[in-house]
Structure 1
Amino acid sequence: MTTTAGSSQFSNLEDISLDPHYALKEAFAVDTNSDKVILGSGIYRDGNSKPWVLPSIEATSARYEYLPISGYEAFIKKARDLLFGSVGPRADYFASLQTISGTGANSLGARFLSNSLKPSAVWLSNPSWVNHANIWGLAGVNVKYYPYWDAERQALDFESLVQKLETEAVPGDVIVLHTCAHNPTGVDPTKEQWTRIADICENLGLFPFFDSAYQGFASGDLDEDAWALRHFVSRGTLELAAAQSFSKNMGLYGERVGALHLLARSPEAAAKAKGNLSRLQRGQISQPPRRGAHLATAILADQVLFQKWLNDLHEMSSRIRSMRQALYEELVSLGTPGKWEHIVSQIGMFSYTGLTPPQVGAIQSESHVYILKSGRISVAGINLANVKHVASGIDKAVRKYPA
C-alpha cells in the first residue's frame, strides 16, 4: 500500500469507544461535587470508600526474578487446589498456567480453544462481563448469547436459557459459565439448575469454560463458591477449562494474579495442551510477573496467613451483604416505586438494579451518583455515609422517569 504525504495507513480503522467502565471513571474524576459517588468500579472499598489492603496481604513479602513461562509452580498448584479441591492422583490430568489475572486467563483460554477445538461459537450469558465478548471476538470465535436475566421478574431466566442451548448449541461449542457471583447481575443458578446445565453440556457435547473471579468473595465460603465447577468435575465425563483471578478475593488488583486450568481426559492430552498453552503464552508475555504470585502463595501455603485471609473474606462479603440490606431498607423507607427485594437476594459485588438508562442519567446528573447505563452497581461503593444519598438519588430518578 502506498500513502501520500499527510495521510495515514490507519485512517480506515474503526473508531473504538472507551470501555463504559473506564468512561464512567473519567466522568467521575472530573466531577467536582463533594457528594459524588461511583458505583461502577469492581473494586472493593472499605466503609470510608478507601481501597482496602487486606491484613493478610500486608503480612507477606515477595522476591523478584524471572519465572518460567508457565509461571510460579507453587502458586499454580495452590491455586488449582483452592478452586478444584485437592485433585490427588488426577493432578496429571490438568494443564495449568499462571496468567495476567482473570483477563489473561480468559484470553489465553479463548485463543487456545479457538485454535484447538475450532468451535462454531462461544455461548455467553446475556448479559455477561463486558470483556468476554471482546476477548472471544479477538480470538476469532463467533459469539452467541444464551438468555440469563429476566428484566421483568428481575431473576434468572432459566427455562429460556435451557431452551436456547438445547435448540441452537451444537457439539464442540464453548459455553462460558460464571462460577459464582455472576457479573453483572449478581444472580446465580441454584444447585439443581447447575446440575441441569451440566446435563446439557454432557448431552450436547459442549465445552464448559468457567470464569472464577469471586471465589470466597461471594458467600465468604471458598468451597461453596466453587460448588458448580466441582460438580462438573465430579461427573468424570467432561473436559473443561477455568479462568481464575485473585484480584477481588485478595485485593491484588494491580498485581494481576491469575491462572488458567484445563482438565483433560488423559495425562497425555493435558501435557500436549500445556505445551500449546505455553507456546501461546511465550508469544504474548514470555512469563508472568512474580510478586503477586508470591503474595498469593504465601497466603495459601501458611496456615496462619490463610486463616487471616478467611477472616478478610468474611469481612468483605459481610460488609457487602450489609450494604445491600441498607440500600434496600432506605428505598423501602422512601417508598420508592417498584420492587427492590432483588438487591438483597443477589450475591457478590454487583447488583443488577433494574434501573433504566434515563433513570441512570438522572441519578448521575442530579445526584452525582455514577452508575453504568445497564443499571449495574458495585455494592462495594456503598457505605453508611453515602447510602442515604444513593437511595435518595435512585428514588428521585425513578419518580421522574417511571419504568
Structure 2
Amino acid sequence: MISTVAQPSRILIGAGARHKAGALVAEVGGRRPLVVTDSFLAGNGAADELVQTFADAGLSAAVWSGTVPDPTTDSLAAGLAAVTAHDADVLVGFGGGSPIDTAKALALLAVSGGAMAEYKAPRSNDGPALPIVAVPTTAGTGSEVTQFTVITDSRTDEKMLCIGPAFLPAAAIVDYELTLTMPARLTADTGIDALTHAIEAYVSRKANRFSDGMSLTAIRTIGSALRRVYADGSDRQAREAMMLAATQAGIAFSNSSVALVHGMSRPIGAHFHVAHGLANAMLLPAVTRYSVPAAEARYADCARALGCAAADDDDATAAQALVDELEALCNDLAVPTPRSYGIDERAWRQKIPTMVEQAIASGSPANNPRVPTPDDVAAIYSEIY
C-alpha cells in the first residue's frame, strides 16, 4: 500500500520557539502577517509578544482578535474584512483550536471565495489559499499540523468538517511554554482530545505504518504525562511531553483519520456548546467499548502503549483493560456526563435524531473499525447521557 504523508514543511519545537516566529514567517514568504487570535491572548500581552518578533524581522503585522470558541460561518465575516484591510499575505493562527481553525478557513476564503458550506466534507480542498503559520497555545487539538478545519454553520448548527491540503499550515511553532498557564479543566479536555486523536488514528480503517508509529508514541507519552500535568500544571516536563504528544497525534490523524468519537462529538458541541475535547472525553470510553470487537488486536496495542496492559497480556485482556483505563482516566480527570454538565435530558433526547444524522453525514464514523448504523449511534448517545 502506498501512503501519502502531509505535514508542515517547517515545525519549530521547544521552549522559546515562539521567539523565532518572525524569522519563520519570513521563511514562508510572508511580509504582511495577520495574527488571527482571540480577545484573551490579545489582552494578556501574548499576541503583542508575537507581533514584536515580526517587527524585529522587518515585517508589517496586524492582529485580529475576533475569533470565537467553536468558530461559526458568521464569525468569519469580520475576519475576512481584516485580511483584506491589512492586505495580509500570510495568516498566523495563534491560540487553541478555534483561532487556528479560523485562520485556516480565512486563508481559503480570502483567495478562493465562496461560502464555507461549499468546502465541507466529502469535498477535498486543494486551494488556492494564503499560507498559514500555526502557533498553538493548548496541547490537544493538533490543528497546527492537520489538513482539517471545523466550522459551525450558523444557519443549521452543523459542525462542518472541511478537509484538504489547503488547510495544512505551511509551518508551525510548538512551544510548550505557551501552555504553562492552562487551567486544569482545559488541560484535561485537550489532553483527552489528543489521546482520542492518537487512538482513533491507530484503529481507523485508513491507518498506515507512518500514522501507526506517531499514534503509539503519542499514546505512550500521554499515558505517562496527562495525570501528572492535570495534578500540577507547573510540571514543565509533563507540559513539554503533552505538547509534543498532541502534535504527534495531530500528524497521525491528519495522515490517517479520526473515527466515530469525533463524528459524534461535533454535534454535541454544535447543539449544546460543549468544548470539543470535553465532548470527545464524554464519548471515548463508550465508543471504545462498542468498537473493540471489530479491532481487538489494534485496541490491545493501544492499551500496551498507554501502560494499562502488559506486553504478554492476550489481546482480549488488553483491549478490556483499555476500556477500563479510559473510564478510570475520565473519572480521575473529573469528566462530566452530559447530565452532570447541565444538559437538559428532554433537550438531549430531542436532539438525538439530528445528532445521529449529522454524525453519520460527517463521514468520520465510516472510518471506525466497527461501522455503526444510525441506531447504534443513537444508542451510544443515550448511553452516555
> Which structure's residues are more often strand, by fraction?
1
TM-score, normalization by structure 1? 0.33
TM-score, normalization by structure 2? 0.35
> Which structure's residues are more often helix, by fraction?
2
